[in-house]
Amino acid sequence: MRSIIDISDLSVEELQELIGVAEDIIANPEKYQDACKRKKLATLFFEPSTRTRMSFEAAMYELGGNVISVSSAASSSAAKGESVADTVKTVSCYTDIIAMRHPKEGAAYVAAQNASIPVINAGDGGHCHPTQTLADLLTIWREKGRFDNLTVGFCGDLKFGRTVHSLITALARYTGIKFVLISPQELKLPSYIKKDVLKRNGLQYVQTMDLESVMPELDILYMTRVQKERFFNEEDYLRLKDSYILNPEKLKKAKPDLCIMHPLPRVNEISVAVDDDPRACYFKQVLNGKYMRMALILKLLKEAGTI
């Protein structure tokens, strides 16, 4: 049974195919309105979420399917001590596909090993978040028309930011990408990603603490929230949370066609004054996420022989 745990579970060709389907859904939504009729998606969210869960649910409804969900650990048998393995074995009896978010790294993998239906990782701790990457890729595709030869800045919490880990892993497979990693010392990209993804593929990257000095080079600026829930002590969080605040002043030196991205939710990292800048793409990402999740649900259910 095919599950999507990590973005590298999808080949570059499959990513392009999903983008093609998403673009067709955007152009011809009626063609897809009954594609998943009488099929069910389970959203199992053991961590807070607004966009990802609602996006999966909206995606399934727009495909003509239905949704059943667990929206917190506290309201499910996880609170009684049930294992992820047992939960997904149970859920496999009720639905056709699962989207799961969990605070523990590797939980989605365990779920996929135990489910008899496809599992989609909707975020596992500070590890990865492949469907946010699908949203990000469609946004880059629609804004830039390519994935090659881009200088991409990642700014903020690169240590715990799972969306960063997944997008870097995805972009590492294209040519001519330059990575600019902007973070405080304590929130640098984990060394396993530098080693396994960047160095192994001989990719160009620079690390800096200074956003303004690199701003003029960037084609894409991916801002992130400091991941409060992954900190061991509040003091460190309070010290680091406002390390970077993007505002119109700082954007003065940016390229006129910069694409400003953020997986959301935003706290203080982007001032609301930036929202009216035509280069702000973060709410476009939200919409693109729904189309890519539709494309992914379709693909996995087709491969499973469910539709």
Per rule CB under 6 A, is residue 25 in the interface with ligand NCD? no
Footprint of ligand NCD on residues 224-243 (CB under 6 A)? 225
290 touches 249 (CB < 8 A): no
If one counts every other C-beta atom within 10 angstroms of the C-beta of residue 89, the result is 14
Task: Choose which of 36, 263, 280, 300 interacts with ligand NCD (CB under 6 A).
Answer: 263
Per rule CB under 6 A, is residue 162 in the interface with ligand NCD? yes
Helix pair angle (130-144, 162-171), 10° resolution: 50
Per rule CB under 6 A, is residue 163 in the interface with ligand NCD? yes
Q: Which is nearer to ligand NCD, 4 or 35 (CB)?
A: 4
Between CA 244 and CA 197 the distance in angstroms is 25
Q: Which is nearer to ligand NCD, 32 or 222 (CB)?
A: 222
- Identify residue 99 by its one-letter amino acid code: A
Per rule CB under 6 A, is residue 165 in the interface with ligand NCD? no
Between CA 134 and CA 212 the distance in angstroms is 28
Contacts of residue 1, defined as CB under 8 A and 6 or more positions apart, other chains included, come to 112, 115, 116, 117, 118, 304
Q: Which is nearer to ligand NCD, 42 or 134 (CB)?
A: 134
DSSP 158-222: TTT-HHHHHHHHHHTTSSS-EEEEE--GGGPPPHHHIIIIIITTT-EEEEES-HHHHGGG-SEEE
CB of 20 to ligand NCD, least distance (A): 23
> What is the per-residue binding string for ligand NCD in 35-74, x denoting contact by CB under 6 A?
----------------xx----------------------
Say what the alpha-carbon torsion angle 116, 95, 12, 176 is, to the nearest 10 degrees. -110
Q: How many residues sit close enough to ligand NCD to count as binding (CB under 6 A)?
A: 11
Q: Which is nearer to ligand NCD, 102 or 129 (CB)?
A: 129
CB of 123 to ligand NCD, least distance (A): 5
Per rule CB under 6 A, is residue 290 in the interface with ligand NCD? no
Per rule CB under 6 A, is residue 132 in the interface with ligand NCD? yes
Peptide bond into 265 cis (omega under 30): yes
The site for ligand NCD (CB under 6 A) is made up of 51-52, 123, 129, 132, 162-163, 225, 263-265
